[in-house]
Copies of this chain bind each other. A is one copy, B any other.
């Protein structure tokens, strides 16, 4: 059992800093670090696996980064030549900054984004560094980057005004009069339900294809349909029976975060490679092996 005491709340600060609203600007990383907006003076990610990430810096240090303004495809840390931004080695998801962004996704933590002048000119300041508001990690995956090495990618999306509200201090408070509220995150899991999803749930009678769990509640049954290859950008998987599985919430969450994967023979493995079972399949439900392969590739599995 953990030794942690209930009082041991992490003191990493999540959310907007009092007195430092969006568009606050600094001439150097050092000044931004002193202000607390992004504490590391070199690293792009401020965080640990245990606490999650409270801020990132986007400043052109990674050749695979893509900036769309309200959405950022951010590259994990490590394996790059800091001078050229080119990858020269594989990245590791256990690197503390990379793992911190996974924790932020799982916990729904708000992340401050600091943009520097070396980033995409469309969305970056012309000089120095600028605080650009709060984002969350919507998903992450791996792929082989431009230079041929495995990189981890995080899709960050800007919080809507409503989502950001709990993390933005009340305006017009005299600075320092009130300790900032240690609000943490609001994680939102969006479960899409489509006609395809409904028909697959019925086919399996709302039982999990991995573990057989059948979660009955008064008046209904809990089951989820997972898209093996995700819908929408960047995966663009189809909403067809061949691309979905009927799962319990646990195995859905595990599949989406790379905690399990399915081989071509429908054996189910955990992320360390150990086989944990075999997928239950209905004769009229064809699963497309290409989608299973796509999912395995995302998580660097064979």
A residues apposed to B, CB below 8 Å? 1-2, 4-10, 49-50, 93-94, 98-99, 101-103, 105-109, 140, 182-200, 202-205, 213, 215-222, 241, 248-250, 252-254, 257-259, 270-271, 282, 284-285, 299
Q: A250-B215, A259-B216, A259-B218 known; A205 and B2 CB under 8 Å?
A: yes
Question: What is the bound-complex CA distance between A254 and B221, given in angstroms?
Answer: 9
Taking a contact as CB atoms under 8 Å apart, the answer to whether B184 and A191 are in contact is no
Taking a contact as CB atoms under 8 Å apart, the answer to whether A187 and B191 are in contact is yes
B contact residues around A215 at 8 Å (CB): 250, 253-254, 259
Closest Cβ of chain B: how far from A165's Cβ, in Å?
14
Taking a contact as CB atoms under 8 Å apart, the answer to whether B6 and A217 are in contact is no
Closest Cβ of chain B: how far from A166's Cβ, in Å?
10
Closest Cβ of chain B: how far from A195's Cβ, in Å?
4
Question: What is the bound-complex CA distance between A180 and B258, given in angstroms?
Answer: 36
Taking a contact as CB atoms under 8 Å apart, the answer to whether B4 and A199 are in contact is yes
Taking a contact as CB atoms under 8 Å apart, the answer to whether A222 and B6 are in contact is no
Q: A108-B193, A186-B193 known; A250 and B213 CB under 8 Å?
A: yes
B contact residues around A108 at 8 Å (CB): 191, 193
Q: A186-B193, A191-B189, A198-B184 known; A102 and B219 CB under 8 Å?
A: yes
Taking a contact as CB atoms under 8 Å apart, the answer to whether A188 and B186 are in contact is no
Closest Cβ of chain B: how far from A137's Cβ, in Å?
11
B contact residues around A221 at 8 Å (CB): 106
> Which residue of B is nearest A101, CB measured?
B219
Taking a contact as CB atoms under 8 Å apart, the answer to whether B199 and A257 are in contact is no
> Which residue of B is nearest A166, CB measured?
B192
Question: What is the bound-complex CA distance between A210 and B244, given in angstroms?
Answer: 29
Question: What is the bound-complex CA distance between A191 and B249, given in angstroms?
Answer: 13
Taking a contact as CB atoms under 8 Å apart, the answer to whether A9 and B195 are in contact is yes
Taking a contact as CB atoms under 8 Å apart, the answer to whether A191 and B188 are in contact is yes
Residue in B183, B241, B249 whose CB lies within 8 Å of A253: B249
Taking a contact as CB atoms under 8 Å apart, the answer to whether B9 and A198 are in contact is yes
B contact residues around A187 at 8 Å (CB): 190-193
Taking a contact as CB atoms under 8 Å apart, the answer to whether B249 and A2 are in contact is no
Q: A189-B189, A216-B259, A271-B216 known; A6 and B194 CB under 8 Å?
A: no
